[in-house]
Amino acid sequence: MSNYGTELLTVGYLPGAPHTDTERLDAKIVALMRCPKCRSKMHYEGYHNDGSYVALAVCNQCGYEKEF
């Protein structure tokens, strides 16, 4: 779990996207990304609450996070 993800959970967000289709699509997008810092693969993390959704790309190697 990312640092930002931990913060989101602390303020009441739930893990994942609000819809499974959204989560699948975002995970596919992130699977194509490379970290701008170390060029490693990234993975998807999603968080949602009522009316808000945060999608993160998180580096598997260095932990770099990018909201998209």
Q: Which domain holds residue 22?
A: 3-67
Domain count, the chain: 1
Q: How far is CA 58 from CA 19, 25, 29, 37, 42, in A?
A: 20, 16, 12, 11, 5
Q: In tens digits, what is the pLDDT along the chain, a chain of 68 residues?
A: 789 999 999 999 999 999 999 999 999 999 999 999 999 999 999 999 999 999 999 999 999 999 98
